[in-house]
Structures are given as structure tokens and as C-alpha cells.
Amino acid sequence: MAILTVVAATHPRMRWIAIDLFPAITSRTARSGLLIMATVLVILARGLRRGHHTAWLLSSAALTLSVILHIVHGSEPLVGVLTCGVAVWLVLRRDAFPVRLTLAPRRRLVEGLIAVAVLIGGLGLIALVRDTAWHHVLHQADIVLLVVFLPAVAWSLFSPTRPPHLSRSEHRTRRERARDIVERYGAGSLDWFALRDDKDWFFSGSSVVAYSARGGVCLVSPDPIGPEGEREAVWAEMTAYARDLGTSLCVVGASRDWLPVYESTGLRTVYLGDEAVVDCRTFTLEGHAHKALRQAVNRVTRGGWTTTLADPLDLPPDARREILEMIGQSRRGDTERGYSMTLSRLFDPEDRGLLMSVTRSPEGRIDAVCQWVPARALRGWSLDLMRRRLDVDDLPNGLMDATIAATIQQVADRGEHSLTLNFAVMRDVLEPGGPGSALEAAIRPILQSLSRATQMGSLSRFNDKFDPSWMPRYVVLDAVEYVAGQALALADAEGLTELPVIGRLLGRSAADSPR
């Protein structure tokens, strides 16, 4: 429509059609007015492309007004039909423009509209003056406006898009829209973590992609969520969106089912580790292999500790306060680590339907908790966080082992099948009998050294107590030249910059990376 308007401004016949469309435009101001309108339309097109509701509203209003003026003034039918078609199409696509402008962009928009009105009014006054010199000024203004239009088109088409800066309420609204999709289509063990607070959401059709733009990297986790038939389409749109952002793409915790889709767009997959999945129906404490775990469970049970399951929002206020205080004492770093595999919050009123294991002492003190999120594909639950009290010296060894064992039993009693436990990073490589390529043999000592700071090896050994099956997870990387930046962005997102030694090495680079 902007290009058609420019044609109307430069072609004599089209210019008179435009004068019929907008009666306020006189023959002397037709070209200037149309060039201004064309530039405004380009700016609105940019807003439409980014999903801005205000751009949709202004564009719909302008096109509807044009249709009315067509009817009133009986102008060129072809242009009227085209305008009406675009207006109807735009109105029907309302749901594609959910992004609400925050206060600062809204103020800039009002200032811009005032500037446009003043400019058009000034050119109109010049046109009314019967002075050749002033008409020469008007002619020069036409040239300037035409020159301005061309870079405006280039800016709209090619300049990088920035993620929308949303207020807290706007971010919450988008999160709840994503929640509707997760509840309808989310089935994987990581899908609920798409609702983490430091993520943004890209919507396409009935699908959502959870991501965060950090330091020139678009970190996606988990896999896109939506109907299976939309997989290729939604990933193609997400790839184009990341290109508009001017970022590379990195998927964290990708499942095997999605790898063909990622690889079809030129991305590379790298083994990241394994997720431990416990079958609650077959789990047992019997046998020599489970002797240590059985002893821990018996020790905790004899001491009088008990574990119950409940929706976190159903816990009484005093229990919630006690849990929050305990978790604050045991947290390492300023926030919960684990961009891809934690929810990052507790007791949010919207998080109905979660599960919490609460272990209490004989006196009723809460000494350990685990929070679980739904994993429908596994007919069970996925571990969100696992914490125990650190300010008491007489807690029995194996308290967390006993908490998980009790949870497994109670989940089975509920008729559910599975629990997914901690994620074991690079498990195959760290295992003594793991893959034995020359590269893996070379990096194994480095990873084993790193595991002492990040608990990579200890988490794998902890999981092994419960006889899990292992579900591989992958990191999906962009072109080779982006890998170093993606590694830093991933380390920042997962909270490795808050760990000793690693934090000192990565902290400066990660701190410079915008969220």
C-alpha cells in the first residue's frame, strides 16, 4: 500500500484518484501529502511485522476510512476494492498482533503523529500562499520527502528487529497465552519449563516457541510446542524471526524427535547429556543393587520423617513461608540455575496443577522439598527443583533419597507411570565405559575436572540409584563462527557464571550480554 501511494504521488492519473480518496488533499499538496502518507505506511508496516497491536489498530482505522471515502466520493473502483480487501484481511488477522506498546514507545508514537500532522498542516499553508517562491519550497519538500521514503523502506525491510520490551503485566499476559498452548499440546518432560519467567515467546499458528535473546544468540528451550503438523512451518518462521533479530539460533535440551527439523534448516546437533526417567511401576528397593538406597530410606523412616504430595498452591501460608526461607538458604547464586530445566519460581497463583513432595521431621519442620511439573507424554512428572535444609546439623543422611523414593511410590499409587530426575550432562562421555573416540578421550579429563564444580558426575551417580532409563538430550548450534558466543550465552543462561572458578572465567562476557 505504501508503494501504491508513492505511485499515486508520482503518476498524474493516480494522483487525482488519491485526491478523490482524501478530499483534504488539494492539487498543490497532493504529492507532498501522499509521500508523507507513504512513509507513515512503511512505519506501520514495520510495526505490523513485529506484531504490534497499535500498528494494527492505526492501519485498520486508516484503511477503513479510505473505504468510506471511496463510497462517499465514488473514486476509482479498482483502488477502492483493493483497499477494502486489505482492510478486511487485516481485521480478520487481529490475533496475529498481540504486542502492546509500553509507555515509552507509545509516547514516541504520539510525538510522531503530532510531527506528521504539523508537517502536513505546514505544507497545506504553503500551498495556499499564492507566491511562486513558496511554491518552489513546496517542490523542494516533495524531493526531500521522496528521498526520505527510500531509506524508510530499506529500514523497514532490512534493519534487525529487537524483541519487544514488555512491561511486567504485558509479559504475564503473553506467558498466560503460552500457558494455554502448553496445557493443550505440551507433553514432553521439559515443555512446562517454556513458562520460565526469563523467557519470551514467539507465536505461530497454534504453536509457541520459548526463547531468550542473549548477547546476539537466540536461545530456544524447550522444543517448540504445538500441533505436530505445524513443526516445519513454525520452525521456518522462528528461523526467519531470529534472522530479523540479527541473532544466531541455539536450541538447548532438544529431543531426538525434533533433530530432523532442526538439521533441515542447516543447524548442527551435539550430544548434551541424558535425562533420567524412572518407571514408578517397576521401581523397587529390593535386591543387592539397592542396598545403600534401602538403608537410607529405612534410616529416614525410622527417624520419623514423612513425605506427602500436594499441589503447592494447596499448602497453607505458613508452610509456604517455611519452604521459601529454606530454599533461599540453600540456593547457590542469585537465582535458580537451569534455563532449560527449571521453572524459576514457586507458588505463582497461575501455576495450578504442579506437584510438591514435602518431607517433614517428627516435629513437623519441613526439611526437604521437590517440585514437579507435568510430563504428559510420560504419564508422570518432571523434576523442577530439589532442596533440603542446611541450617540443621542432625538431619539423617539420605534424606533426599528417601524423599524421592517415597514420591515414586506415591506416584505409582496414583496410577501414574514416570518421574524424570536430574539431567546428567555429558553422561556418556564421563562414564568410564563411555564412547572412546580420540576427541572424547582428549576432553574427558577436562569434563571430569569441570564436573567437580558443576556436579556433572555426582548427578549421574545420584540418578543411577533409582534404575532410570536414559533419554538423550542435545544442544543444536548454528554455524561454526557463532559457537563461541553461543557457549557463553548458554553458560550465562544456565547459571554457570555464578559457580566458583567458572564464574570468574565467564562472568565478564556473560554480564555484557543483554537478556
Residue pLDDT, tens place only, 87-101: 888 888 887 776 666
Distances (CA, A) of 295 to 14, 396, 409: 88, 11, 16
> Residue 460: its pLDDT value, please?
72
Instruction: Name which residue leads in pLDDT, 43 or 235.
Output: 235
What is the mean predicted confidence (pLDDT) over 67-81? 58
What pLDDT does 489 receive? 81
pLDDT of res. 361: 94
Please indicate, yes or no, if residue 227 is contained in any of the structural domains: no
Q: In this structure, what CATH number is given to the domain that contains residue 295?
A: 3.40.630.30
Q: Give me the pLDDT at residue 262, please.
A: 95
CA-closest candidate to residue 43, choices 159, 165, 121, 203: 159
State yes or no: pLDDT of 104 exceeds 60.
no
Contacts for 11 with CB less than 8 Å, ≥ 6 apart: none
pLDDT of residue 425: 75
Is there a domain that residue 447 lies in? yes
The answer to whether residues 100 and 47 touch, using CB atoms and an 8 Å cutoff, is: no
Q: Is residue 464 part of a domain?
A: yes
Is the model more confident about 26 or about 206?
Answer: 206
Nearest 5°: the CA angle 380, 404, 351 is 50
Nearest one of 325, 401, 335 to 366, comparing CA atoms: 325
Mean pLDDT to the nearest integer, 80-84: 75
* Residue 128 confidence (pLDDT) above 80: no
In this prediction, residues 219-247 reach a mean pLDDT of 89
Tens digit of each residue's pLDDT (9 = 90 or more) over 274-314: 899 999 999 999 988 889 999 999 999 999 999 999 999 99
Give yes or no: residues 308 and 447 share one domain. yes
CA distance 148 to 145: 5
Can you tell me the mean pLDDT for 255-260? 94
What CA–CA distance (Å, rounded) separates 315 from 290? 33
Distance CA 169, CA 278 (A): 38
Q: Look at residue 69 and tell me whether its pLDDT is greater than 60.
A: no
* Owner of C-alpha cell 507566491: 131
Last residue of one domain, picked from the residues 139, 158, 177: 158
Give the C-alpha separation, 320 to 366, whole Å.
10
By residue count, the chain amounts to: 515
Residues 138 and 281 in one domain: no
Where among 158, 179, 208 does a domain terminate?
Answer: 158
CB 515 within 8 A of CB 198: yes
**What is the pLDDT at residue 210?**
96
Determine, yes or no, domain membership for 199.
no
Over residues 185-197, mean pLDDT: 92
pLDDT at site 417: 93
> What pLDDT is attached to residue 40?
73
Which of 470, 488, 503 is at the close of a domain? 470
C-alpha to C-alpha distance for 185 and 349, rounded to whole angstroms: 21
More confident residue, 460 or 372: 372
Clarify whether residues 154 and 287 are in a common domain: no
Rounded-to-integer distance, Cα 188 and Cα 420, Å: 11
* Residues of the domain holding 281: 275-470
Task: Report residue 254: phi and psi, to 5°.
Answer: -65, 145
pLDDT the model gives residue 234: 92
Top pLDDT among 75 and 473 is at 473
CB 458 within 8 A of CB 451: yes
Range of weakest confidence among 51-65, 82-96, 144-158, 408-422: 144-158
Is residue 150 located within the same domain as residue 285? no
What's the CA gap between 351 and 126, in Å, rounded?
A: 61
Average pLDDT of every residue of the chain? 77
Average pLDDT over residues 189-218: 90
Q: State residue 314 phi and psi, 5-degree precision.
A: -90, -5
The better pLDDT of the pair 155, 217 is held by: 217
What pLDDT is recorded for position 21? 46
| Least confident window among 158-162, 281-285, 406-410 | 158-162
Q: What is the DSSP string of 81-146?
A: HHHHHHHHHHHHTGGG--BPP-HHHHHHHHHHHHHHHHHHHHHHHHHHS--HHHHHHHHHHHHHHH
Band (506; pLDDT cuts 50, 70, 90): very low
Q: Provide the 3-class DSSP secondary structure of residue 398.
A: coil
pLDDT tens for each residue of 11-38: 555 444 444 444 444 444 455 556 666 6
How many domains, the chain?
2
Residue 27 lies in a domain: yes
Which whole number is the average pLDDT over 131-135?
53
Structural domain includes residue 213: no
DSSP at 289: G
pLDDT in tens, 367-376: 999 999 999 9
Residue 64 counted as domain residue: yes
pLDDT at position 12: 55
Question: Mean pLDDT across the stretch 468-486?
Answer: 86
Say yes or no to pLDDT of 457 above 90: no
Listed in sequence order, the DSSP H helices in 159-304 are 168-185, 231-245, 259-263, 291-302
Q: Are residues 152 and 280 in the same domain?
A: no
269 and 476 Cβ atoms separated by less than 8 Å: yes
The answer on pLDDT for 463 being more than 50 is yes
Contacts by 167-174 with C-beta closer than 8 Å and gap 24+? Answer: 167/102, 167/103, 170/99, 170/100, 170/102, 171/200, 173/98, 173/100, 174/98, 174/200, 174/201
* Mean pLDDT across 122-133: 55
Does residue 404 sit within a domain?
Answer: yes
> What element of type H or E holds 36?
helix 30-49
Q: What local confidence, expressed as pLDDT, does residue 308 receive?
A: 96
